[in-house]
């Protein structure tokens, strides 16, 4: 697969970053102004990925900061019940609250998210709250881009990357760009580039790579050629319905096609893609298979109401792929 893992490590992946509350509209096909009921889920890209990895039968851990209130307790309990190791989730004692995301589902094509992320607990994770002994227990450290948006979370994430590299723990950077948390795209570019260059695997959409490079419509080849001058061994660039591409440092290119599905909403696809893609790599499957797993998992989650609770099992992913294999041959 191009990335050698420490197979003796007890945990398969530790994610660092945000865990928050998603309040998803129960009423579809109407604007948020008219929506009266929402359903509560755990949200936040790295939390979703940890839950997704755990749902697939691997061992996931999480480093993050939770509010000292009902929302924080709900997140910790939900993630523990999902099988995620929550021993290094830190409780905030400075009065910071959990981030909230309200989602609007006007139509499968028109979904929006209204975020409340000012002074939220997850952005107040301090470097001193990141444990080297804990990171050493994992094969992979997954860093989500949002953790880099503000200090002290930014420094905590950078420290985690340094500790992972020191201890032969592979670093996966999921770009997870959310413009509302950042001061400017120029600032995003600085920190994204810093972490991407130190990572072993980088995953994101073409638009997210454009933000990292602080320019528009960059060709994939230019992006990967730059990153391959540094640590990355594998770069995944997603192009929505056009599918995704994986590039290896050795020069190989793989294409994963997007699966057709009945779309309910667009959010959650990236997190489910990352969890299934990484699951396949950790299990020693080839990159082509990992792309199929990622695409299938994303297709399953966009057809369901939540992100975290919708994360599929291995059986669901494999059944989905097998049912569509003939259909894909016809569509070529």
Q: Tell me what the mean pLDDT of segment 202-217 comes to.
A: 96
Q: Would you place residue 1 in the very low, low, confident or very high pLDDT band (cuts 50, 70, 90)?
A: very low
- Provide the CATH topology of domain 14-331: 3.40.1190
Q: Tell me what the mean pLDDT of segment 109-115 comes to.
A: 88
The lowest-confidence range among 41-45, 202-206, 284-288, 324-328 is 324-328
- Predicted TM-score (pTM) of the model is 0.95
Q: Would you place residue 326 in the very low, low, confident or very high pLDDT band (cuts 50, 70, 90)?
A: low
Residue 125 pLDDT > 60, yes or no?
Answer: yes
The residue extents of the domains of the chain are 14-331
pLDDT of amino acid 332: 34
Q: Would you place residue 328 in the very low, low, confident or very high pLDDT band (cuts 50, 70, 90)?
A: very low
**Which strand (E) or helix (H) includes residue 203?**
strand 201-205
Q: Would you place residue 330 in the very low, low, confident or very high pLDDT band (cuts 50, 70, 90)?
A: very low
Q: Tell me what the mean pLDDT of segment 105-124 comes to.
A: 91
In the β-sheet with 234-238, what is the strand arrangement from edge to edge? Answer: 89-91, 60-66, 11-16, 138-144, 170-174, 201-205, 234-238, 244-248, 253-256
- State the chain's mean pLDDT as an integer: 94
Tell me which residue of 208, 223, 198, 220 sits closest to 178, measured CA to CA.
Answer: 208
Residue 227 pLDDT > 80, yes or no?
Answer: yes
Share of the chain above pLDDT 90, in %: 83
**DSSP secondary structure string, 36-76?**
--EEEEEE-HHHHHHHHHHHTT--EEEEEEE-SSHHHHHHH
41-86: pLDDT as tens digits = 999 999 999 999 999 999 999 999 999 999 999 999 999 999 999 9
The lowest-confidence range among 26-40, 100-114, 174-188, 246-260 is 100-114
Q: Is the separation of the CB atoms in 271 and 203 below 8 Å?
A: no
């Amino acid at each position: 697969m191009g990335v050698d893992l420490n197979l003796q490590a007890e945990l398969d992946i530790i994610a660092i970053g945000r865990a928050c509350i998603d309040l998803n509209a129960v009423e579809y096909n109407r604007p948020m102004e008219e929506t009266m009921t929402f359903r509560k889920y755990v949200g936040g890209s790295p939390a979703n990925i940890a839950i997704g990895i755990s749902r697939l039968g691997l061992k996931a851990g999480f480093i993050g900061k939770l509010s000292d209130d009902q929302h924080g307790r709900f997140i910790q309990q939900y993630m523990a019940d999902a099988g995620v190791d929550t021993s290094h989730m830190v409780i905030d004692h400075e009065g910071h609250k959990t981030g909230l995301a309200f989602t609007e589902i006007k139509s499968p094509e028109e979904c929006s998210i209204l975020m409340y992320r000012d002074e939220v607990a997850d952005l107040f994770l301090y470097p001193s709250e990141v444990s080297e002994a804990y990171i050493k227990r994992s094969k992979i450290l997954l860093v989500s881009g949002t953790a880099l948006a503000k200090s002290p979370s930014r420094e905590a994430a950078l420290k985690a990357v340094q500790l992972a590299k020191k201890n032969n723990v592979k670093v996966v950077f999921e770009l997870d760009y959310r413009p509302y948390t950042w001061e400017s795209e120029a600032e995003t570019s600085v920190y994204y580039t810093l972490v991407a260059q130190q990572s072993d695997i980088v995953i994101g959409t073409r638009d997210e790579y454009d933000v990292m490079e602080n320019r528009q419509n960059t060709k994939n080849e230019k992006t990967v050629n730059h990153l391959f001058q540094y640590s990355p061994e594998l770069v995944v660039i997603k192009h929505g319905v056009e599918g995704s591409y994986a590039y290896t440092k050795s020069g190989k290119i793989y294409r994963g096609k997007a699966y057709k599905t009945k779309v309910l909403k667009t959010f959650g696809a990236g997190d489910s893609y990352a969890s299934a893609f990484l699951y396949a790599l950790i299990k020693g499957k080839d990159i082509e298979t990992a792309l199929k797993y990622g695409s299938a998992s994303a297709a399953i989650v966009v057809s369901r109401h939540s992100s975290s609770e919708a994360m599929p099992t291995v059986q669901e992913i494999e059944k989905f792929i097998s049912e569509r294999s003939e259909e894909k041959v016809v569509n070529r």
